[in-house]
Structure 1
Amino acid sequence: MSTSPAPCVAAIDIGGTKIAGGLVDPDGVLLHRIERPTKAKAPDPDEVFAAVAEVVAVLAEHEPWAGVTAVGVGSAGPVDIGLGTVSPVNIPAWRGFPVVARIRELPQVDGLPTVLGGDAVAMTAAEHWRGAARGYANAICLVVSTGVGAGLVLDGRVYPGPTGNAGHLGHITVDFEGEPCPCGSRGCLERVASGTAIASWALANGWRSPGGPDGAVDAAAVAESARAGDPVAVAAFDRAARALAAGIAATATLVELDVAVLGGGVLRAGELLLAPLRHHLTTYAALPFTQGLQVRAAELGTDAGLIGAAALALDPA
């Protein structure tokens, strides 16, 4: 007696360095994971998409693919979930690229429902479903990495906004006299609190990599120095934490939040960032209805993009 294949979702996570794919069951368990490098500098958009097609083709070779009921896609942005298009900053060939239509045309997908979300919104969906924001009705989840992205949970549901970019905290202004930002504004949170910004500010203020002239110049290297007590490195993380606290507190004042969840590569620094962030929140989250705001580290790590893409397709309450 034959049985129907167990249902699952195909998930795709598109970033500037890699394109990952996975099969996720209805409980949020990642069954398979693969990835391919993103040809981010390729001038031909089809050459970039070829990696997506390869990821889907490899996933389709696994037995659970027979139970796929939908495809969830999380992508670096900006995105437009209404049009099904993406314009990742780090993939110049993709401007208004119709990624949803192209994926649905793949023979393995053959028109299955395909749902798009921004990568930070996907991370938010994952952490609300299976991670550190689980059980909270109102949350902001941040990815602090090369840039700063974020997504919102309001009244128990992920809120992407009309185009899928709601909660784009990295591009609110936290410094009126701050540096120009590639987005066209000035003094954006991302220009203060991203891993790139932490390393740049530390360098400009006298920090030197613990590896010497040939050492790494990134947030991880600054964190290494901060753990050793380097005052400039410590100040770089405090500055980033203060900016994050201001942005989170402003959001909590607008929409009333229960928790802020932080993930991304910079969070490998742990309490070097989280401890001063909590401290600065006591200053910026001053109104009574913001004072109970909790700060938590994300729990799902590198799986968050795929689990979140699946969550967007399944839309678990």
Structure 2
Amino acid sequence: MSKYGVMVMGPAGVGKSTFCAALITHLQLNRRSAFYVNLDPAAEHFEHQPDLDIRDLISVDDVMDELKLGPNGGLIYCFEFLMENLDFLTEALDSLTEEYLIIFDMPGQVELYTHIPILPRLVKFLTQPGALDIRLCAAYLLEATFVLDRAKYFAGSLSAMSAMLMLEVPHLNILSKMDLIKDQLRKKDLKRFITPDPSLLDDDPADAGRKRAGVTIDPHSADPKDKDALMSGATFKRLNSAVAGLLETFGMVSYLKLSSNDEESVGAILSYIDDVIQFHEAQEPKEIPDPEYEDDV
């Protein structure tokens, strides 16, 4: 009997735990069962207490104290330890029925989703037939405020694509905290960020602002520690263009919009999760509501 699950991922501070809490609340209000698994060994606060917590097995603080590792090294050690003690997951998840949505709340260290092969091994264990056999999808969150900084947006999108390629499971990319940008970006402009558009680099507001102010910076003679000089240099622009071109070539990344404080928005995201894990065979994803923009007319 298959189980169903979603792995909530993304950089630190994008609202993963907030989304998990909103998702659990929505499921409970709609009389659906959720099983909440915290896999962040450095987590501290939860709105909903986890049903299974990796900190009961190992925590980053203990590893840092005993092995004298830094936060990132400690996190990687925790996941290596988890992979050596997978019974910790099996014993808790094996008895769950198909009525449950298993929600995995993941850490925010991006290297876990880009070039360290630990998570692909974990995903393979969770999804392999004959064992837990979880129909798993990934929900990769990127904070919506990233769209206000072209370089940050394309870098985040590249990380999202890297996670898609590494994990090889059905994948949803989500712009979280949409309520934070509804007064800073016109609705018609936001559409260009839903699927990364390389032409966004041609009208970067940062460059336009420098031109209006008459600011010219020679990156060859400027202080190497000067952030403005670095980010206005030709090399940095070529890097961003290459990243944008790579995203366009693969054509894999597009975003859904999420406001975790809006139950309708959370419900719409859940419908996409249910669709990709085939929780309901005949269900179609719901339309995701937009925040209220001043220029909706």
In the superposition, the TM-score normalised over structure 2's length comes to 0.32
Higher helix share: 2
